[in-house]
Amino acid sequence: MSLVVKWYLNLSFDALVIHSRSYVIVTFLTFLKRQQRLGAADGNVDAMTSAELRNGLRGVLGFPVTPFRRDLSLDLDGLAHNVDQMSRHPFCALVAAGGTGELYSLTVAEIIDLVRVTVDAAAGRMPVVAGVGFNAALGVEIARGAEKAGAGCLLVLPPYYANPPEDGLFSYYETIGRATGLPLMIYSRDWAVFSAQQVARLAERVPSLAAWKDGQGDVRKYQRIMSYVGDRLAWLGGIGDDCVPAYFAIGVQAYTSSISNIAPKLSLQLAEAGLAKDFARLDDLMRRYVHPLYAIRDRMRGYEVAVMKQAMEILGMPAGPVRPPLANCRPQDVEDIRKLLEVYREVVEERESGESAERSPAGAGRSFR
């Protein structure tokens, strides 16, 4: 029995009430359970309506970083700690080895280890989505390993080759989709750019495709895609916390958050305001917290991960350096991150030990340079 199904069966009424208030509805778990049952044999699964997903995959998908030690080896104990802390918040899912998790710098074995540890640390509190990519052969290997490790869904990043024809690109997703009984999310980023008609054709060709994560940031085009394809897919905002107002304005039901690593409370507040179309509240949250953080992240390529890891270290959380091809934060930027975290005090919660995360001596003054 899959971890997701066991979580579904063990939920208490009180847990359902708490999670439903944060837009984590049991229908999504029913979907995952059904996919495991129906799709395991041949990778072909029932299509879902977005009505089902709207009642389930709503709010925030947390995106844990991949902690490394100073020698750049995996810090799996650190990951387990971080995931346990994140899983105390009502996210609708966690994504292991996604872009924020530096998938592109990991080996296949490391990715599967990350998924396994994330599943174990989440301990049935929410589904785990596994990042997949590179090429069809490696993607299949990762997907099958992630399924065995307990993942409930696959997030498929673009293939390494940047100029494939449509049929070749579709075959990449189809091959990975048919390799397991898990539903797919496609991450449209970088050179994986699609028209509305292409998304519709891809959804027909890949029956296990259940959700679409936008990483382009073109909300005008994304809105056209959503309107054309309709409720065949669940629509996710995926380029960053700074695009939350625009994404929810066009009707996404959830977004992926890197801020969830340092301030889960803030991520959930952003989604709550977005789903309620409370743009006055969103504007206040964006102005106070999100825009200043993203202004630092914009200072250098790759800072979308390096800045989050540096913030975690300052807060006493295991994160470590980034791996090449990314670069760690410069000293002047570390100081600016530290100053900004003073503003974040009210949305950064106290750790299980009772000590304020902001005051934790671990990581104080640390930078990776």
Q: Which pLDDT value is given to residue 350?
A: 62
Domains recognised in the chain with CATH numbers: 3-277 (3.20.20.70)
Q: Which pLDDT value is given to residue 349?
A: 75
Residue 318 has pLDDT above 50, yes or no: yes
Strands (E), 68-160: 93-96, 128-134, 153-159
* pLDDT range class, residue 35, cuts 50, 70, 90: very low
* pLDDT range class, residue 351, cuts 50, 70, 90: low
pLDDT above 70 coverage of the chain, percent: 79
Residue 180 has pLDDT above 50, yes or no: yes
Residues 6 or more apart in contact with residue 226 via CB below 8 angstroms: 235, 250, 251, 252
**Is 172 among the catalytic positions?**
no
Q: Which pLDDT value is given to residue 283?
A: 98
Q: Which pLDDT value is given to residue 31?
A: 42
Does 354 or 223 have the greater pLDDT score? 223
Residue 169 has pLDDT above 60, yes or no: yes
Residues 6 or more apart in contact with residue 315 via CB below 8 angstroms: 262, 341, 348, 357, 358, 360, 363
Q: 113-152 burial, b if ≥16 CB within 10 A, otherwise e?
A: bbbbbbbbbbebbbbbbbbbbbebebbbbbbbbbbebbbb
For residue 34, give both structure tokens: 């059904």
User: pLDDT tens-digit profile of 147-168?
Assistant: 999 999 999 999 999 999 999 9
DSSP 24: B
- Report how far residue 200's alpha carbon sits from residue 229's, in angstroms, rounded to the nearest whole number: 6
Q: What is the mean pLDDT of the chain?
A: 85
The active-site residue out of 172, 187, 303, 344 is 187
pLDDT above 90 coverage of the chain, percent: 78
Residue 319 has pLDDT above 80, yes or no: yes
Residue 30 has pLDDT above 60, yes or no: no
Closest CA to 84 of 94, 75, 92: 94
φ, ψ of residue 257 to 5 degrees: the values are -125, 125
Q: Which pLDDT value is given to residue 34?
A: 41
| Average pLDDT of the segment spanning 16-31 | 41
Comparing 3-7, 105-109, 291-295, the range with the smallest average pLDDT is 3-7
Residue 368 has pLDDT above 80, yes or no: no
Q: Strand 128-134 to strand 209-214: parallel, antiparallel, or no bridges (unpaired)?
A: unpaired
Residue 241 has pLDDT above 50, yes or no: yes
- Report how far residue 330's alpha carbon sits from residue 326's, in angstroms, rounded to the nearest whole number: 12
* pLDDT range class, residue 57, cuts 50, 70, 90: confident
- Report how far residue 25's alpha carbon sits from residue 58's, in angstroms, rounded to the nearest whole number: 8
**Is 255 among the catalytic positions?**
no
Residue 202 has pLDDT above 70, yes or no: yes
Residue 12 has pLDDT above 50, yes or no: no
The active-site residue out of 172, 213, 247, 309 is 213
